[in-house]
Structures are given as structure tokens and as C-alpha cells.
Amino acid sequence: MWFQLSTLLTFTAASLSLASPAGEAIYEQSYSLAARSYPDHISPRPSISCLPKHPFWPPPSPRRRTKVCYVKSHNNGITDDAPYILSALHECNYGGHVVFREGITYYIATAMDLTFLNHIDLDIQGTWLFSPNTTYWQAHSFKFGFQNVTSFFKLGGNDVNIYGGGTLNGNGQVWYDLYAANIYTLRPVLIGIDGLKNSIVSDLLLRYSPEYYHFVANATNVIFDNINIFGLSTSTNVAKNTDGWDTYRSTGVTIQNSVINNGDGKQIFPPFTNILVQNLWCSGSHGISVGSLGQYVGEYDIVENIYVFNISMHNATDGGRIKVWPNTPSALSGDLQGGGGSGRVQNVTYDTFFIDNVDYAIEVDQCYGQSNLTLCLEYPSPLTITDIVFKNFDGKTTKKYQPDIATFACSSAAVCNNIVASDINVVSPNGTNLAFCQNVDTTVLDVNCAGPYLGFN
């Protein structure tokens, strides 16, 4: 049965209430803005439940906070507020509640290292607006050393809770236009996470990220809940690589109850284990993707224990997807190349997808970045794909790969085992449900494996 999202994905008045809850500790006000026209509200910490599926790790249990700091701002959209932000976070670290006030714009023109945070709540009611100075950010944003990823700020620490219903705005349009002119532009991600543990990010509006909206690296036991993402380009230059979440070298991450309108979707980079993704509504996406894997020679990628449940996928290239580079150098584009790595993908389940105007409902691709199928088969990937389940898929694809609605393309039978598809009720616009199947056991695939090879996204 299709699990309804309507009650989960709406920012209701209750979820954004700014009234202080009864019985909360008495706070010490550290400092506040000189301008008193904006009220000093404190948002109650959201009560987060992970349902209907449960995370692989017990959810974080945040401590009570005993102090409040109100963050100053010039509130003019010109003068850098990063020093005020850092001052407040240091002041209220280890047991504080930091309030970014409703109606205030905090203009950020300096890269901020926030990996020192511990036992702290960030109550973002106003707006974080990042400066459009592309020259500064390319020189000073934080580099993660993976696929040219950089970030405006680097978030880390233990027991960090971020909420409040406010907005993070990456000023993405200048970046979409710059990238169209130069694909080697280093575009910052909106939220860069490095080493965050036992933390919750919820109830936020994310707008116009230059690249990914989240890059989650070296994280342990982190929940993302009720996140609203939007960031389409207003020019002819498309907003590219604006994935909702990209995860890397992390474990115990849950992403749930969120809306994504962007140019990409959810990516799971290696190594990554024990992830739950549930209750998402996505449009304009590249799907819920595991990979790309096997990109770097000498690297052994591991992705294990992934459960993806209740996804509504619209106007996208893929629904559920696993993508692996072949064992030969390949180039997807000038700034994205790879091939020759190894590793394993094991115990991944895609359960309950609604497919609406999606190119491929399911795509397993061990020839990522290589359009020459003959060359891919000549140099098969050594990365193993085992114990993969696709089940309960409904809906309709686009005409792009008609009559195919899916592709299961392994570069050799030796590395693909126990890939199962059941209750696949997806058709193309002309009513077919064919799939291209190569080097997989077709007896456990609930599709018609008579489909032709039509290429990959």
C-alpha cells in the first residue's frame, strides 16, 4: 500500500511554533540585537520519530540546553555577519541554544569552520544568505578531497541540533551561470558536514545551492528530517549536480520526511553503511543512487545495509539506481572521470516507489561513464553487487527508453549475484514493461528481459 506523505511533508504552524515549551529550563540571555523590532522567540526542539521504518542505529538523545544566545546581525545583506555567528556559537557551545532571529538576514561572506560544536542547538528562524563572491569562495571554501567538493562552512561535533523553520540560501544563480561558462568552477555545497555525530538536522528550507545541498562526510548517527529543498535556475543555464544529499565515509544516517525539487537526488558514495532513506517526494532528480562506485584506481569501495522506502519520484532520470565505473578509464564529462576501482555493494533494498515520468524506474549500471558497451564488457568491473532487492514499484516511465522501463546491466556474471525485482508494476507510455538484462539471473526479475540495449543516463 502506498504510504501517504501529505501529513509528513508540510511545514505546519505547529511544527514551526516559536513558543517556548512548558517546563523548559530557565535560560540566561547572553546577548541580542540592538534592533528590538524583532521578537525574541525560542523554537521548541522538534520531537523526531523515525517511522515507519526504524534506523539501523538508536536515534540521538539530545541533552537539555541551559543557556540562550541571540545572534547579532547587520541585517543589510551587504556586511559580513560570520564574526557574529562564530562569536555566538563559541559563547553558547557546551549546553546552549543559539537563536538566529525570525525576520533577520544573516549575510555570510567568510568560510566558517564549525567542527568545534558540542551539545548545542542552532535555532535558525531567519535566513542565512551566502555572498555571491565566486572568486572568494573558490579560493577559501573548505575542500573535501572527493569529486572537487567544497563547502561554504564545515559542520561537525557531537550532539548538534539544527532546526527552527528558517532558510539557508546559497545564491546559486551566479554559480549556475559561471559553471555553464567553465565546468572546472569549484562550486560550494550548501551544507558541508565533516565528523558530525549523534545529531539532528530538521525543519529547514534550503534554497539555491551552487552544487550539492548536503555533503555528509565522516558522520555517525545523524538524522535529517523535514527538509524542504528547492533550487531551479532562472536562466537558460541549468542548475547541475544539485543533489539533495551526498554521503561519504559515514554510518548510521537517516534521511526522511522531506521534499526535494532540484536537478539531482540522493547519492550514496563509498564507504557507507547502515543508512535509512524514507518518505521522500522528489522532482527533477537523478533518483536515489548508490554510487558512483569504483571511480578511483586502488580504492576499495564498500556500501552495505541500505534501506530506501516510500519514495515518490517525479520528472526524473531514475527511480532506484546503482552505478559503477568499469575497469577502464572512462569520462562522463571533462570534470568527472574515473574507472578501475573495486569494492562491494551488499544488502541494498528499494521498497515502495511511485514512478511518474521517470526515464528508468530501475537502473543497475556497471558501465557508468562509458558509452562503449563493448569496451565495458572487455574490461569488466571487479566490484561485486550482491543481495539487492527492488520491490513494490508502481507508475509510468517517460518515452526516453521506451519500450524499456528498467536496465540490469552487469559487466560480468561473476560480480552480480542475487539481484531480485518483485512486484514491478511500472509501464512505459505505450504499455510495455521490458528491461535490458545482462549478466544477471533473469528468473528472479519481475520484468520482461526482452528489452533492447538503449544506453545509460
Q: Which residues of 355-387 are buried (b: 16+ CB within 10 A; e: fewer)?
A: bbbbbbbbbbbbbbbbeebeebbebbbbbbbee
Q: How many CA atoms lie within 13 A of 423 on its CB side?
A: 12
What's the CA gap between 189 and 192, in Å, rounded?
6
Share of the chain above pLDDT 90, in %: 70
Cα–Cα nearest to 327, from 318, 338, 312: 338
Which are the contacts of 136, defined by CB distance < 8 A and separation ≥ 6? 109
Does residue 229 register a pLDDT over 90?
A: yes
Q: How far is CA 378 from CA 295, 374, 431, in A?
A: 17, 6, 34
Q: Is the pTM of this model over 0.85?
A: yes
Residue from 69, 65, 155 nearest 119 by CA: 65
Confidence check: pLDDT of 219 > 50: yes
Ordered structural domains, the chain, with CATH: 127-444 (2.160.20.10)
What pLDDT is recorded for position 253? 96
User: Does the active-site annotation cover 97?
Assistant: no
- Give pLDDT, residue 11: 35
The yes-or-no verdict on residue 5 having pLDDT over 60 is no
- Here the cell at position 335 is 570534470
d(CA 222, CA 142) in angstroms, rounded, equals 21
- Of the residues 54, 214, 286, 314, which is catalytic? 286
Which residues, listed in sequence order, are joined to residue 349 by a DSSP beta bridge?
A: 307, 389
For 429, other C-beta atoms within 10 Å of its C-beta total: 12
Whether residue 402 has pLDDT greater than 60 = yes
pLDDT at 338: 67
pLDDT band at 331 (very low <50, low <70, confident <90, very high): low
Predicted pLDDT at 292: 79
pLDDT at 271 over 50: yes
pLDDT, position 456: 66
Residue 342 is predicted with a pLDDT of: 84
The residue among 33 and 393 whose pLDDT is bigger is 393
Lowest-pLDDT range, 12-26, 130-144, 411-425? Answer: 12-26
Closest Cα to residue 361, out of 302, 321, 332?
Answer: 321
Type of residue found at 233 = S
Across residues 73-83, what is the average pLDDT? Answer: 97
Q: Which three cell numbers stand for residue 142?
A: 573548505
Model confidence band, residue 437 (pLDDT cutoffs 50, 70, 90): very high
Q: Quick one: average pLDDT of 181-204?
A: 97
Per-residue pLDDT reduced to its tens digit, 369-392: 766 777 778 888 889 999 999 999
- What value does the mean pLDDT take over residues 305-322? 96
Specify the higher pLDDT residue, 264 or 76. 76
CA distance 205 to 226: 9
Across 346-363, average pLDDT:
97
